Amino acid sequence: MKTLSFLLVLVSTTTFSQSLLWKVSGNGLKKPSYLFGTYHIMKDSYLNQNPKIKSAYEGAEGVVVETEVDSSAMLSMAMRGLMLDKSLDKLLSQTDYKLVADEFKKGTGYDLALFNQMKPIVTATMLSLAYVQKESDTLNSFTGLPLDLYFASDGRKRRKTVSALETMEEQMAFLFDHDPVEKQAQHLVEMVKEKDEMHDMSKSVTELYLKQDLQGMWKLNEKSGNTFGNMTYLLDERNHNWMKRLPGLMASRPTFVAVGALHLPGPQGLIELLKKEGYQVEPQ
């Protein structure tokens, strides 16, 4: 499902070592930087059982994340998620709307009517999150802040230089505005009709992440894309945009780069893109 790809965010055509942490060196870097694949809803106590990741982070002078929460932009972001001239009950048939409404209530506890004028991708993302959280007792056993938020907030406390690869508005534009709302609504219905497969995928996501199995995650993402619609623009386009900034950030100081794990592998993934620029990228 498209929103499942957004949650994970990965890719690869070659066999990868089972590692989420990669050392980036060479190409003029005085000291190595590190690339780490996060799982956006994994909590930071996960790091306690992964000393290599924690050590790489603590030793870095700079931290790079996908984006940082900007309170001044929250209203603008909320407005971007709205359909002011349309509503979900008008985009769907009565039968499909009831199907989605029943599943949404079951999954999230909320009435779909409350989100009738939210873009369907927002509703789908909420439902995807509910699936992942309910399918994994292991995931729920971790505590603290979501990993990406932890690295940004703790990095500032440690007086590291914290940088974002894109603004909240840029990130939300990729999610909310890339597809027309009519297409988003179709994918929402597909997701609900294939809910059993979605539940299975959601459970597998956490298991593969805990195994640090990038290849397995890529294969799952490929299956998800073939079943529910491709969402590679969330990965490939953003990776190329980020490569305009990453070399300069790593050249300025040893940097810990924390982005969604699905951004790492694949022909358009950050590992391959960094190698093409002349860096050595090695699993840790």
Greatest distance between any 2 Cα atoms in the chain? 62
* Pairing label, strands 280-283, 21-25: antiparallel
- Summarize pLDDT for 246-264 with one digit per residue, the tens: 999 999 999 999 999 989 9
pLDDT digits (tens, 9 = 90+) for 8-56: 443 333 445 689 999 999 999 999 999 999 998 899 999 999 999 999 9
Q: Report how far apart the first and last C-alpha atoms of the chain are (Å, whole number).
A: 31
Q: Kindly tell me the burial class for residue 55, based on how many C-beta atoms sit within 10 Å of its own C-beta (0-12, 13-18, 19 or more).
A: middle
Could you tell me the pTM of the whole model?
0.84
User: Within the chain, which residues score under 50 in pLDDT?
Assistant: 1-15, 226-229
Burial, 244: exposed, middle or buried (Cβ in 10 Å; 0-12, 13-18, 19+)?
A: exposed
E strand map for the chain: 21-25, 33-38, 62-65, 161-164, 255-260, 280-283
* DSSP secondary structure, 112-173, as one string: GGGGTTB-HHHHHHHHHHHHHHHH-HHHHT--SSBHHHHHHHHHHHTT-EEEESS-HHHHHH
Nearest Cα neighbor of 53 from 193, 119, 137, 150 is: 150
Helix H or strand E segment including 204: helix 195-210
